[in-house]
Chains A and B, each alone.
Chain A
Amino acid sequence: MKLVDKNTSRRTLLKSGTALAAASVAAPSLFVRKATAQGSFVNDPGDAAFVTFGFNVPQTGAYADEGADELRAYELAVKHINGEGDGGMLNTMTPKSLTGNGILGKRVEFVTGDTQTKSDAARASAKRMIEKDGAIMISGGSSSGVAVAVQSLAQEMGVIFMCGLTHSNDTTGKDKRRYGFRHFFNAYMSGEALAPVLAEEYGTDRKAYHLTADYTWGWTQEESIINATEALGWETVEAVRTPLGAGDFSQYLTPVLSSGADVLVLNHYGKDMVNSLTQAVQFGMRQQQVNGKQFEVVVPLFSRLMAQGAGDAIKGILGTTNWHWSLTDEGSQAFVKSFGQEYGFPPSQAAHTCYVQALLYANACEQAGTFYPPEVIRALEGFEFDGMGNGPTLYRAADHQCFKDVLVVRGKENPSSQFDLLEIVQIVPRAQVEYDPAIFGGELGPYEV
C-alpha cells in the first residue's frame, strides 16, 4: 500500500507543509483579533451581556498571601461595579461615570491566573486568559519583573494591563507601554518622600550601606535612594547586590559591620526583606554605635504583610508604603469598611491598589462609552480623580504613572492590635514626589496595535 497518492508531487507536499506551518504560527492571531480599528478589537464583548476581567495574581510561591489579598480586592471591586454590596469607593470616587450596573450595561465577570511571581508563568497565564477565557483586560501581580513582562505582552496583544503591586521605576520608565497603567507609587517617589524624613531623624552626615535585590525593582530602588540620600549629604559606602530568595543573608550582613557604615538600607521586598531585616537585627546592628552615632536600618518599601513576617524586628524601622488601612480619608475608610466586613480583616496596600485599578478601568470604559482599548486608554490618560485614598490623584498621560500623596511609615513600637503594625510618620504631598517623565526614558508605543 502506498502512503502517498501517485498524483501528489513532492512540490505539493512541500507547499502543503509550508502552508500548515504558517497557519500554525499565525493561529493565535486568527482567534484573537487585535485593535486595528474601532469595532474590531481583542475580545470585543459585542452584544454579550457580560465582559470578562482577567486577574493575574501570585496564587503560589512567596507572594501567595499578597496575591490572595489582591484577589479578594478584585472580587470586591467586581461586586461594587455590578451594583452589589455597599458600593465601597464607588460612593466616594469623583468624578465617576460608573452607575453600579456593570460597565455600559454589561455585567462584569472574571477569571484568574497564577503568576507564580515568575515572568514567563505570568505571561503564559495572561495569554491564556486573553486567548481562551476572553479577558478584555488583565490586572494584578506582586513584582516589577512580572509587571514589565505582562505589560509588554499587553501591548503586543492590544489588551489593557492595569498593574498590581510594582514599584520599579522601569515599569513606567524605560519599559513603559501604552497598554500598561500603574496606580502604585515607584522607587523614585519613595526616595523623594523618605529622604527629608531620614535627614530629620538621622541627620545629614551618614554613611549608608545598601543590600539590594538583584533584579529590576532592586536596581531602580537602590539608584533612587542613593540619589535622594546623597543629595542630603549622605555618603554611600557600598551597594551590594544579593540574589533573589537568598534565605540566609548573613554572608552579606557580616561585611556591613566592618565597613564603617552607620546606616543599612535594605532594598529587599517580601520574604527577602523579612529575612534580611530579621538577620540584621540578630547581628545586633540596631544596638551598635558607629561613627559616634546609633546604627540605623532603613527599609524603603514595606507593607503590613511584611511587617507581620518580620515580627519585632520591624519596630522603629522607617520606610514608605503606598497606602495603609488606618488612613482616615473618606475613600480609604469606605474601602476598609467594605473589605473588613466582607473578609474580617483590613486590606493590604496590594489589595488597595488592585481594587482601585479595577474601578479605574471600569470607569474609563464607561466614560469612553466603549471597550475599544485606544479610547479607554485616552480616557485613563490624564484622568484626575479623588476619593480613592491618597488625596487628589493624576494618571499622567506621558508615562501612565499615578501621582498622589506618599506615606512615610515606621514599624510601631506598641501595636494596639494584630493589624496595627505601622504608624504613619508623614503624608508626603504629591508635589514633592513629582518628576519629569523624560528622566526615565522609554516610549509608550502606539494606541493601535
Chain B
Amino acid sequence: MDAIFIQLLNGLDKGGAYALIALGLTLVFGTLGVVNFAHGALFMLGAFCAVAMNQLLTMSVKVKDESITFFEAYKEQPYLEIWFGDTGLTIIDYSVPISILLAIPVMLLIGLVMERGLIRHFYRRSHAEQILVTFGLAIVLQEIIKVFFGANPLPMTAPEIVSGSAAVGSWVGLDASLVYPWWRLIYLFFSLVVVGGVFAFLRFTTYGMVVRAGMYDRETVGLLGINIERRFTVVFGLAAVVAGLAGVMYTPIVPPDYHLGMEFLVLSFVVVVVGGMGSLPGAVIAGFLLGVLQSFASMNEVKQLFPGIDQIIIYLVAVVILLVRPRGLMGRKGLMET
C-alpha cells in the first residue's frame, strides 16, 4: 500500500509536468492550428530564465586561490552576501521562485516574437512544413543556449526551507517513514494552479470566451469584427509563458541543460495525441494519466511480470488509444481521424 501511494504521488507529480507542457502545445494547435515542435524549447528557455536569474543574483567577488599557479582558481563570494549579509543569502536561496518574475515577461516576449516573426507565416502551410520549421527553430534555440551556458547540466536548488522531504505517510495514515520531496509536492500544486488559471482565463473572461469561440469557428468570429488573429497571438504568448513557468519550477528537480526541451517534446506530443489534439481537458487528463501509468510501470513487481514495460508503457497506451479511439480521449469528432 505504501509503495502504491508513493508511486501514485510520483505519477501525479510527473503528470503535472506533462500536463503543463501539453496544455500549451494543445492550446497552440487548437487556436492557430500549428503543430509546434519548438514548444519543448520554450520549456528549456524557461528553465534557463531561472539559471540566468541565479547567475545574476550570485554575481561574485572572486577570491583567488594563490596555491594554484597554472590557471585561475578562485572562491566566489556573492555581492548580495557582501552587501546585505544574511538577507542577501536568503534572496539567493529563493532564486528559483524569484525567477518567475523574470520568466513571465521574457517568455511572453519570446512567444510573441516567435509567433509574429515565424509561426504566422506557416499558418496555411502543411503540418509537415510546420513541424520542420518549428523543429529547426528548436535546434537553433538550444544551440544558442549551449553557446552561452555550455552542455553540462547546471545545478539549481530549491529554497532551503522546502529542500527536504515531507512525511506524507503520516498525512494519510500510512507508515510515518514514507516521505516525498517538498519541492515535488510544490510542483504538483503549482501545476494544478497554473492549469486552473488557464482554464479560468478561457472560461470566465470575455477574452477567453472570444478565443474559445475562435477555436470553434474562426471565420464567424472574424465576421463579427473581432481581430481573432491578434488574440491568437496573445494565446501563443500565453502558451510560451505556461511552458516557461513549468521549466523554471522544474530546475531543482532536473538540473537544466540545453537539451532539456527535447527530452519532453516527444512525450508531451504523445500526451496531446492521447488527450485529443486541441482538447485542453484532454491534455491535462492524459498528462496525469500517463504520468501515473509510467510510475506504476516502473514498480519492481510490475517489471518482474513485464520486463521493460516502464520504457514502453506510454507508447503502448498511445497505440491502444489511437487504435480504439483515433481522435484521442477527448478530441473533437473528425479531427485527426483521417
Query: Contact at A250–B71, with CB atoms within 8 Å?
Result: no
> Binary interface profile of A, 301-339, with partner B (CB < 8 Å = 1, else 0)?
000010011111100000000000000000000001101
Contact surface of B with A, Cβ cutoff 8 Å: 2-3, 6-7, 10-11, 13-14, 17, 65, 67-68, 70-76, 146, 150-158, 163-165, 177-181, 183-184, 252-255, 257, 259-260, 263-264, 294-295, 298-300, 303, 310-311
A255 to chain B, nearest CB (A): 6
- In the A-B complex, list the 10 residue pairs whose CB atoms are closest, starting with the nearest: A311-B155, A340-B70, A340-B71, A417-B73, A64-B151, A284-B165, A251-B298, A309-B153, A417-B65, A282-B181
Query: Contact at A64–B146, with CB atoms within 8 Å?
Result: yes
- Chain A residues contacting B254 (CB-CB under 8 Å) are 247-248, 275, 278-279
Could you jot down 21 A-B contacts, CB within 8 Å?
A: A63-B151, A65-B150, A250-B14, A251-B10, A251-B310, A254-B10, A254-B295, A257-B177, A258-B178, A271-B257, A274-B153, A278-B255, A282-B165, A282-B184, A283-B165, A283-B179, A283-B180, A310-B255, A346-B71, A417-B73, A419-B71
Query: Contact at A312–B157, with CB atoms within 8 Å?
Result: yes
- Chain B residues contacting A251 (CB-CB under 8 Å) are 7, 10-11, 14, 294-295, 298, 310
Query: Contact at B10–A313, with CB atoms within 8 Å?
Result: no
Query: Contact at A309–B3, with CB atoms within 8 Å?
Result: no
B325 to chain A, nearest CB (A): 27
How many contacts between A and B, using CB within 8 angstroms?
Answer: 141
Query: Contact at B74–A417, with CB atoms within 8 Å?
Result: yes
- Chain A residues contacting B259 (CB-CB under 8 Å) are 61-62
- Tell me the complex Cα distance, A140–B152, Å: 19
Given A251-B14, A251-B298, A311-B255, answer yes or no on A417-B68 (Cβ-Cβ < 8 Å). yes
* Residue A344 lies at the interface, judged by CB distance under 8 Å to chain B: yes
Query: Contact at A305–B152, with CB atoms within 8 Å?
Result: yes
Contact among B68, B165, B257, B300 with A62 in the assembled complex (CB-CB below 8 Å): B257
In the complex formed, the residue of B with least CB distance to A255 is B300
Segment with Cβ contacts to B, from A75-83, A147-155, A238-246: A238-246
- Tell me the complex Cα distance, A65–B150, Å: 7
Contact surface of A with B, Cβ cutoff 8 Å: 61-65, 68, 238, 240, 243, 245, 247-248, 250-252, 254-255, 257-258, 271, 274-275, 278-279, 282-284, 287, 305, 308-313, 336-337, 339-341, 343-346, 415-420
Query: Contact at B71–A282, with CB atoms within 8 Å?
Result: no
Query: Contact at A284–B164, with CB atoms within 8 Å?
Result: yes
Given A251-B295, A275-B254, answer yes or no on A309-B154 (Cβ-Cβ < 8 Å). yes
In the complex formed, the residue of B with least CB distance to A63 is B151
A273 to chain B, nearest CB (A): 10
- Other A-B pairs, 4, CB within 8 Å; known A258-B3, A340-B70: A251-B14, A251-B294, A257-B177, A311-B255
Query: Contact at A416–B65, with CB atoms within 8 Å?
Result: yes
Query: Contact at A282–B253, with CB atoms within 8 Å?
Result: yes
- Chain A residues contacting B311 (CB-CB under 8 Å) are 243
